[in-house]
């Protein structure tokens, strides 16, 4: 297990290689059960990033997917460690039961409500403006640095609550408030990342560093190792680095891993270790559509992604200008037939090129016929490449 490292891969697989009792704190913010695809266009280069909830089989399917991951978290956690599981109304009831099952009801510490403001609510209900973070300890004792996280004795309305508390208890005279402030309650009012936030990276589920700083500060020491198995754009890593903790981040998305690597470099001038599992057919088949596109076009052809998703005329990317800037089309499908090849040929001609690359898992007879006809009759050269070709280094 490497420290201060970003692991790219499925956290179940990555964690299975970690020893028992090896990390002090886990913060996990898994993709929620929304049955939704969030796709976002980043930067002016319009690189398309995809964040996808990968299950469509209902809540049981989701919990079945989560269970072995939470079990791995439990196994790698030290006996003095704690885990925070971030979720929302979509799955919180189910995840609470799962956490009780794995950690034990008596190890439940808090149900933290992260309350945030924001526009938009249904006409027939109250605005949904909070997430839930379950906080569990593994063993009987756990790290809780109360002094690290104290806040002023003020209510939301700005009243000094230490007097109200003292009066309420009828011990005004004896009550000695802690000069460092009070331990926060379990409702945390922390501003979410919005379009104006300085730390905003454009990632749809990015959490504020302030939220993670409270978690890391409360539940780890400077000698601690903090693990985030669903690391996204690396907010936990940033908070841990800021507070001088050791950290490990895992994310299945190559795009997310590259982004957090860049973020750590920018904020702390550190060149974090980026550890990638074996890139094989199994790995490629798990990639979301835009990750697949990035892998083929950027990683393999060293090219550039097409600027727009729709209206791209069947062109997903271009080979580097130095090698001709030829169109690349990618399809996560088997047995590509004649039609997609004919359409790609049209796209190549519209782009005023005479050559292009088509990448898929496999091609049928019709595809080869289309390629031969395009070459013989119209001088358009289409190279068919399977994913296995690319894995074997057969690119151009």
Ligand X SMILES: C[S@@+](CC[C@H](N)C(=O)[O-])C[C@H]1O[C@@H](n2cnc3c(N)ncnc32)[C@H](O)[C@@H]1O
The reply on whether position 291 binds ligand X by CB under 6 A is no
The reply on whether position 206 binds ligand X by CB under 6 A is yes
The reply on whether position 10 binds ligand X by CB under 6 A is yes
Q: Which of 132, 219, 224, 253 binds ligand X (CB under 6 A)?
A: 253
Closest separation in Å from C-beta 317 to ligand X? 21
The reply on whether position 249 binds ligand X by CB under 6 A is no
Closest separation in Å from C-beta 257 to ligand X? 9
Of the pair 250, 315, the CB lying nearest ligand X is at 250
Count CB-CB contacts under 10 A for residue 107.
19
Closest separation in Å from C-beta 231 to ligand X? 6
Closest separation in Å from C-beta 226 to ligand X? 13
Residue span binding ligand X (CB under 6 A) among the ranges 252-260, 308-316, 368-376, 384-392: 252-260
Residues 6 or more apart whose Cβ sits within 8 Å of residue 288: 50, 51, 52, 54, 253
- For the record, the structure tokens of 309 come out as 């998703």
- In 3D space, the residue among 244, 210, 252 whose CA is nearest the CA of residue 228 turns out to be 252
Rounded distance, CA 126 to CA 206, Å? 24
Residue span binding ligand X (CB under 6 A) among the ranges 157-165, 205-213, 239-247, 310-318: 205-213
The reply on whether position 235 binds ligand X by CB under 6 A is yes
Of the pair 63, 313, the CB lying nearest ligand X is at 63
Footprint on residues 169-188 left by ligand X (CB under 6 A) = none
3-state class (DSSP) for residue 36 = coil
> C-alpha 105: how far from its chain's center?
28
Q: Which residue is nearest to ligand X (CB)?
A: 232
Convert residues 356-385 into a mask of x (bound to ligand X by CB under 6 A) and - (unbound). Answer: ------------------------------
Rounded distance, CA 312 to CA 280, Å? 28
**Cα separation values, 231 from 6, 194, 293, 327, 382, Å:** 9, 19, 22, 33, 39
The reply on whether position 192 binds ligand X by CB under 6 A is no
Rounded distance, CA 4 to CA 242, Å? 13
Q: Which of 74, 230, 292, 295 binds ligand X (CB under 6 A)?
A: 230
The reply on whether position 4 binds ligand X by CB under 6 A is no
The reply on whether position 137 binds ligand X by CB under 6 A is no
Q: Which of 96, 107, 142, 207 binds ligand X (CB under 6 A)?
A: 207
Convert residues 48-87 into a mask of x (bound to ligand X by CB under 6 A) and - (unbound). Answer: ---x------------------------------------
Helix (H) / strand (E) element for 261: namely helix 254-268
**Residues paired with residue 136 on neighbouring β-strands, in sequence order:** 83, 108
Query: What's the full length of the chain, in residues?
Result: 396
The reply on whether position 232 binds ligand X by CB under 6 A is yes
Burial of 309 (0-12, 13-18, 19+ CB in 10 A): middle
Q: Which of 21, 80, 148, 205 binds ligand X (CB under 6 A)?
A: 205
Q: Which of 250, 284, 318, 382 binds ligand X (CB under 6 A)?
A: 250
Contact yes or no for 23/248 (Cβ under 8 A): yes
The reply on whether position 131 binds ligand X by CB under 6 A is no
The reply on whether position 28 binds ligand X by CB under 6 A is no
- For the record, the structure tokens of 194 come out as 């919005």
Count CB-CB contacts under 10 A for residue 190.
15
Of the pair 163, 268, the CB lying nearest ligand X is at 268
Residues 6 or more apart whose Cβ sits within 8 Å of residue 354: 348, 379, 380, 381
Q: Which of 18, 23, 25, 29 binds ligand X (CB under 6 A)?
A: 29
Rounded distance, CA 373 to CA 287, Å? 33
Closest separation in Å from C-beta 93 to ligand X? 18
Helix (H) / strand (E) element for 266: namely helix 254-268
Phi, psi of 8 (to 5 degrees): -100, 115
The reply on whether position 24 binds ligand X by CB under 6 A is no
Contact yes or no for 216/238 (Cβ under 8 A): no
Residues of the shown chain interacting with ligand X in the complex, contacts defined by CB under 6 A: 10-11, 29-31, 51, 203, 205-207, 230, 232-233, 235, 250-253, 256
């Amino acid at each position: 297990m490497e420290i201060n490292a970003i692991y790219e891969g499925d956290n179940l697989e990555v964690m299975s290689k970690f020893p028992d009792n090896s990390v002090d704190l886990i913060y996990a913010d898994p993709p929620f059960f929304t049955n939704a695809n969030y796709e976002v266009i980043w930067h002016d280069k319009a690189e398309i990033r995809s964040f996808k909830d990968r299950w469509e089989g209902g809540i049981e399917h989701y919990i079945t997917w989560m269970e072995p991951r939470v079990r791995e978290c439990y196994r790698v956690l030290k006996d003095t460690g704690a885990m925070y599981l971030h979720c929302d109304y979509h799955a919180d009831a189910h995840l609470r039961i799962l956490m009780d099952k794995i950690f034990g009801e008596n190890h439940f510490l808090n149900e933290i409500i992260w309350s945030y403001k924001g526009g938009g609510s249904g006409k027939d209900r109250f605005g949904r403006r909070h997430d839930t973070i379950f906080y569990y300890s593994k063993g009987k004792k756990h790290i809780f640095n109360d002094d690290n996280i104290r806040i002023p004795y003020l209510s939301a309305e700005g009243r000094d609550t230490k007097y109200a508390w003292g009066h309420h208890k009828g011990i005004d005279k004896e009550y000695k408030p802690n000069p460092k402030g009070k331990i926060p309650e379990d409702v945390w009012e922390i501003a979410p990342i919005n379009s104006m936030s300085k730390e905003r990276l454009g990632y749809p589920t990015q959490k504020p560093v302030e939220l993670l700083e409270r978690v890391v500060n409360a539940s780890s020491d400077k000698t601690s190792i903090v693990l985030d198995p669903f690391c996204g754009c690396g907010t936990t890593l940033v908070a841990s680095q800021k507070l001088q903790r050791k950290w490990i981040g895992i994310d299945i998305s190559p795009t997310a891993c590259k982004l957090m690597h860049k973020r750590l470099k920018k904020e702390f001038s550190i060149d974090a270790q980026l550890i990638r599992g074996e890139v094989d057919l199994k790995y490629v088949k798990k990639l979301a559509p835009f990750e697949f596109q990035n892998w083929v076009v950027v990683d393999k052809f060293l090219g550039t992604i097409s600027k727009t998703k729709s209206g791209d005329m069947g062109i997903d990317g271009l080979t580097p200008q130095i090698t001709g800037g030829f169109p690349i089309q990618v399809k996560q499908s088997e047995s590509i037939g004649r039609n997609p090849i004919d359409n790609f040929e049209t796209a190549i001609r519209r782009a005023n090129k005479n050559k292009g690359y088509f990448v898929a898992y496999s091609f049928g007879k019709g595809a080869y016929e289309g390629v031969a006809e395009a070459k013989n009759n119209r001088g358009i050269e289409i190279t068919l490449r399977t994913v296995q070709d690319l894995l074997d280094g057969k690119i151009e």
